[in-house]
Structure 1
Amino acid sequence: MVKNALLRKSGGQGILEEYKSENTLKHRTRRQLVNILASDMTERHGRIPSRRQKEKYALGIISLFPALKDPFSPKGYVNQDFNLLFGAEKSSKLLNKWDTTFKPKIIKEATQLTQSTDLPRLLKAAERHPETGRKKTKISPTDAADRMVLFHKSCSSIDECLKEREGKQPFILAVGLTRNKIDTYYFAVDKQLIPIHHTSSLSAFDELFKCHYVFNLSYDESLVHLYMFVQTTVFNIDVYSTDESPRVRVLRAKMLNDNV
């Protein structure tokens, strides 16, 4: 199916020839591959293909180009899978728009919140680093941050660190000598580590969010509002069919209003 789609589309033959000679594809060629197949998928299945149809194309990619398969993922690279599910343009929204569109407005909004012992520290961290749910019981900002990112000192055992972590929701494991000098990021799923091939905290969060879709995982209850905000406001996924809280909708309106 994927091979036939490439043979029908302009540029597809070049993709097949590059893989045959190099046993891999350049980053630019991978983006071209995703764009060609996304176009073919919408032509065959309509503007909103089903998840099953998208996953069929993802499986087709790694069947035709096995060297592209990530051994840690049942379907391929996290970003590649997410690209195929939603398109390359949507997949790049967080990395492309965070610093210019969202970060300044979120910091401004946060300065207007009720002050707590956590808030000044979190604001300073957000301003210092350029990259960077509904629950029945309340959780502090610090505890929520710890649910998402776990710091691990590089001189100690990672296995012991994972054993002590409760729950099966994915999280980022940041490994380094200090919290301000992280050498490697992983995301952990059910006590399994998957390396993140980037060195910025923003890229690590980008992949953490995407892995929920690639592995069909639910959001952590204590982080559900954050993830829903990113899902609907940043990536524009299922905006009208997601059961959001009123606070998420209000915050989205503020973030997307140019005069805020």
Structure 2
Amino acid sequence: MHATLSPDLKRQVANMLIKVKHRETKKYVKLEEVSFTDFMSAVQQKFLIPETAALKVTDEQGIEVAEDVFPELAGVKEVCFVIYTAEDILETKSSKKLRDCSDLTHYVTLTSCDLTVLKQLVEEPSSPSLTDTLSVSTTSSQGSDTSDAGLVQPLLESIHARNERGGCSSPFRLPLCTCLGVTVIHEYEKTGSLKDSTRRLMVNIIVAHMREKEGRTVSKATKEFHALGIVSLFPSLKDPYSKKGYEHFYGIQSNKGFLEWRIKTVQRQSKTPTASQNRVELKGGPTSRRTFGLTNDQQTRDQCMEAMSLLHHTTDQDIVFQKMRETFYYRQQILHDPQESANILQMFPRFLDTKGLILQDFAMMFGVETASRFLEKWNTTFKDKVAREARDLQETCRLKRLLKSALNEEMDDADEPEWDSDMASLLVLLHLLTPQPAGRKRPKKMSVGEAIDHLVKFHKSCQSLEDHLMNNEGNPQPYLLATGTSKAQVFSFYIVWDRKLLPCQSCTSLGAFDELFKCHFVFSVKYEDALSSLYTFLQTTVYNIDVGTTVESPRVKELRAKLLNK
């Protein structure tokens, strides 16, 4: 029904300018004659709204304006009509659902102009913490708390000021203000960390955001910028052993990390080659050539040949350790000679029957302090944290038994005896550092069970060790052989390498594993692919060897950040 206007009101509204708002745009609409139908048509033309679109009209307080009251409101200069399309209404409902997901929605607004400033805050030790400088803005359905104002630091104020003035284009906004993003933030607030599944969710959100802004090819600066934003918003994800702390999310020199992995996954069809001219070649690890300080007891080549001849015949333990120490440098030269390194155990056979020689060589390579770190730190710093972290993994029967053994909990009657607490905790660590395939040409990824079998095997003490060596085919890499009545009752350990037994000095699983790790450096043996993440984590994080010069997977860096920041 059309409203009937008095002649005075008709004259008043003729050629009237009416204020109208659609989304964030305000305009004047001119009407020669007041009519709700003419008004709707003029609005559609003014704001380029399709004629078929259904429109809803309200005032600025959200009160719907019906056709019969429109003429009277049109004559009030203070009234601004707000126009909604069906699409606008859906977006409003989505926003309401978002508010219902959580009381708080957090976001960090960053711009490309702030990249230099943020880097300085990370790299300068005297600067305030980046988490103190970056404000985590809070929007509440109940209204903002005035106490939050104290969190806003000068950097954030400058970012917001530039955005409002339009002085800095293309702002990068960490897209965590969706319902999924709220899930990420709530988990971090509750636990102080993120589970693997939640971290993957966060990475997927951010990569989708970057690709939406820049297309298929995301710049290195953008990836590094968002990696920095992640560890700024979630400080416990920062890797304290990395140069910048966020390389496991994206390292600009290596062009690797969780963000890069996700980008490559979603653009698998891209043929654009990755630029490698700025990459830094990392050579740390057990096969690296090393320089050692000069010592007075090292022998000349002729003297070494005489010492080696004596080592073939003597059984005096003191002489064996002395001569092995005197030939250390010469042995290192042989190990890095491709033509002679394969014969190292024939040239120095005392490794096969004398306990402790591996420990002596390793201490000469790195010093007593480094050599003792694993045994000193594992039980006091890492063991319990590893077990707690593994509780978030998908539980299998094997993992359940290992966790019980690691925590010295009672086994169920139906469970078979498992390894002792120390060995079980190391195998739990292997579950956290899931074995990775050697490369794209590898047919399949090795399971955790298969990887455990490449790390340690049990052999009943009543059976022949020679039979075990004869049946061991296809595993030239070093591994531990535990002998005893059961996995929980082991009496002695051997390192099996190239079908030869090297006796371990230690009778404990932790000490034997320490010797297994060290033999890779003593004999310059590359880590087995399936165990590379495990050994690399121990090398850099526990022994602190070749930190910053060793290739580390993002998973290794992420786990280190989680454990050391707990």
TM-score of Structure 1 vs Structure 2, range by shorter chain = 0.7 to 0.9
Aligned match of 1:141: 448
Which amino acid is the alignment partner of residue 79 of structure 1? L
Aligned match of 2:33: none
What is the rounded CA distance, in whole Å, between the counterparts of 1:104 and 1:141 in structure 2?
A: 20
Q: In the TM superposition, what are the counterparts of 1:93-242 in structure 2 within 5 Å?
A: 93-128=373-408, 129-132=420-423, 134-135=436-437, 136=442, 137-166=444-473, 167-242=475-550
| Greater helix proportion | 1
Instruction: Tell me the TM-score normalized by structure 1.
Output: 0.72
Determine if contact 1:51/1:85 at 8 Å carries over to the other structure. no
1:245 shift after superposition: 0.7
1:67 shift after superposition: 3.3
Which amino acid is the alignment partner of residue 87 of structure 1? G
- 2:364 paired with 1:84: yes
1:119 shift after superposition: 1.6
> Residue 71 of structure 1 is aligned with which of 350, 361, 376?
350
What is the rounded CA distance, in whole Å, between the counterparts of 1:54 and 1:194 in structure 2?
A: 25
1:215 shift after superposition: 0.3
Q: May I ask how many residue pairs the two structures share in their alignment?
A: 207
Secondary structure class of the residue paired with 1:176: strand
Determine if contact 1:151/1:179 at 8 Å carries over to the other structure. yes
Aligned match of 2:156: none
Q: Tell me, which stretches of 5 or more residues in structure 2 are unaligned?
A: 1-287, 308-317, 325-348, 409-419, 424-434
Instruction: Tell me the TM-score normalized by structure 2.
Output: 0.34
1:104 shift after superposition: 0.6
1:51 shift after superposition: 4.1
1:190 shift after superposition: 0.4
What is the rounded CA distance, in whole Å, between the counterparts of 2:397 and 2:422 in structure 1?
A: 23
Determine if contact 2:484/2:491 at 8 Å carries over to the other structure. yes
The 1:109/1:97 distance shift into structure 2, 3 A limit, reads same
Alpha-carbon displacement from aligned partner over 1:114-165 (angstroms, at most 9, x marks no partner): 2223221221222234433532432232221111111111111111111211
Which amino acid is the alignment partner of residue 103 of structure 1? K
The 1:171/1:58 distance shift into structure 2, 3 A limit, reads farther
Which amino acid is the alignment partner of residue 445 of structure 2? K
Bigger RCO of structures 1 and 2 (CA < 8 A, at least 6 apart): 1
Secondary structure class of the residue paired with 1:98: helix
CA RMSD of aligned residues (A): 2.6
Aligned match of 2:564: 256
What is the rounded CA distance, in whole Å, between the counterparts of 1:232 and 1:151 in structure 2?
A: 28
1:171 shift after superposition: 0.5
Say which one has the larger Rg: 2
Alpha-carbon displacement from aligned partner over 1:20-59 (angstroms, at most 9, x marks no partner): xxxxxxxxxxxxxxxxxxxxxxxxxxxxxx9453397598
The 1:200/1:172 distance shift into structure 2, 3 A limit, reads same
Determine if contact 1:58/1:84 at 8 Å carries over to the other structure. no
What is the rounded CA distance, in whole Å, between the counterparts of 1:60 and 1:245 in structure 2?
A: 38
- % of aligned pairs identical? 43
Q: Tell me, which stretches of 5 or more residues in structure 1 are unaligned?
A: 1-49
Range moving further from structure 2, 131-140 or 190-199: 131-140
Determine if contact 2:436/2:446 at 8 Å carries over to the other structure. no
What is the rounded CA distance, in whole Å, between the counterparts of 2:385 and 2:466 in structure 1?
A: 39
Range moving further from structure 2, 229-238 or 62-71: 62-71
The 1:169/1:231 distance shift into structure 2, 3 A limit, reads same
1:236 shift after superposition: 0.9
Which amino acid is the alignment partner of residue 96 of structure 1? E
Determine if contact 2:320/2:350 at 8 Å carries over to the other structure. no
Which amino acid is the alignment partner of residue 160 of structure 1? D
Which amino acid is the alignment partner of residue 60 of structure 1? Q
Determine if contact 2:358/2:515 at 8 Å carries over to the other structure. yes
1:242 shift after superposition: 1.1
Aligned match of 2:228: none
Which amino acid is the alignment partner of residue 134 of structure 1? Q
Secondary structure class of the residue paired with 1:182: strand
The 1:72/1:108 distance shift into structure 2, 3 A limit, reads same
Determine if contact 1:118/1:141 at 8 Å carries over to the other structure. no
